[in-house]
Amino acid sequence: MTSFLANTKAAVLRWFDTSVDPPPATTEARVDWLRTLPFLILHLACLLALWTGVSATALWICGASYVVRMFAITGFYHRYFSHRSFKTSRAWQFVFALVGATAVQRGPLWWAAHHRRHHRCADGPDDPHSPKEHGLLWSHVGWITSKKYFATDLELVPDLARYPELRFLDRFDTLVPFVFALALYALGAVLERFAPGLGTNGWQLVVWGFFVSTVVLFHATCTINSIAHRFGRRPFATHDESRNNAFLALITLGEGWHNNHHHYPHCAAQGFRWFEFDPTYAVLRALAAIGVIRELRPVPVELRRARRDA
């Protein structure tokens, strides 16, 4: 009984500080229900929209929250932290890591480490989220709930682990989302007081700008792990099941050109041709033009020529 209470206490504390008594390493990929409880609550909280109602303001905030955070995930968590497809200063690195952390997809080190592992063994037995190996549902959401994938493998991200500010975001991965939710509540309260004609309030902006937006953002992101390895076209003969999917590119700001990405992971662009919708790359080019980032890696001409239809 004492051991059970101690393990439960440690599991709860890990909701707030991932360094607390790390769970023992395990090879079993099964759901850790206690660890997953806040994730389930996040989904159930969307039902509060029935209580708060909705307004045009709330929908605009919801959409803006989705787009800005999706860009931080695809542009920085993925293309920068995971693949180093461009360079930036330490200050801007932290700013965009901070924005990405509001998406409730854990810290940049954890995200990048697991993604680098995915590329090392894509669609093989050691791939954490291969639908070929583990099924569509597990690849979409199940793997994230497993104790097996809780820890951050710092050996996979030595270039990032040397920054204490990034390790802080990784350790306290619920802090930034909590502050973001508080900021939305404060914004709604201010608008309710000084702009009542907008028809919103603090709780409404929290529900739509945080809970609803975060859940939609999470599942849109995870379609790249699941659906983009099952459905779509394969213009490049990669050694995995990655596929290009135009609809997924639309909802993820360009991530859906997944076969392109697996063919050349270090490219800052994922849409290789003019008609492959990749707004993330367009924003990255704009950031490069004003000096926020630099040395964007282009698509090599010879790789464009290696294309084939399958």
Q: Which of 254, 259, 250, 248 is nearest to 269 (CA)?
A: 254
Place of tokens 């709780």: 203
pLDDT one-digit tens code per residue, 158-203: 999 999 999 999 999 999 999 999 999 999 999 999 999 999 999 9
DSSP character for 257? Answer: B
In the chain, which residues have pLDDT < 50? Answer: 308-310
Strand partners, 201: none
Q: Given this model, what pLDDT does residue 8 score?
A: 75
Sign of CA dihedral 172, 173, 176, 181: negative
pLDDT one-digit tens code per residue, 200-215: 999 999 999 999 999 9
Could you state, in order of their start, the residue ranges of all structural domains in the chain?
A: 56-234
Q: Which of 1, 32, 44, 8 is nearest to 214 (CA)?
A: 44
Place of tokens 């983009």: 228
Q: Given this model, what pLDDT does residue 310 score?
A: 41
Q: Given this model, what pLDDT does residue 27 score?
A: 58
DSSP H stretches of helix in the chain: 2-13, 33-44, 49-52, 56-71, 90-101, 108-120, 131-134, 136-140, 158-161, 164-171, 175-194, 202-205, 213-222, 246-251, 258-263, 279-289, 301-305
Q: Given this model, what pLDDT does residue 3 score?
A: 63
Q: Given this model, what pLDDT does residue 153 score?
A: 93
At 244, give phi and psi (nearest 5°): -85, 130
CB 11 within 8 A of CB 174: no
Measure the CA–CA gap between 267 and 159, rounded to whole angstroms: 18
Q: What is the pTM of this model?
A: 0.93
Q: Given this model, what pLDDT does residue 189 score?
A: 98
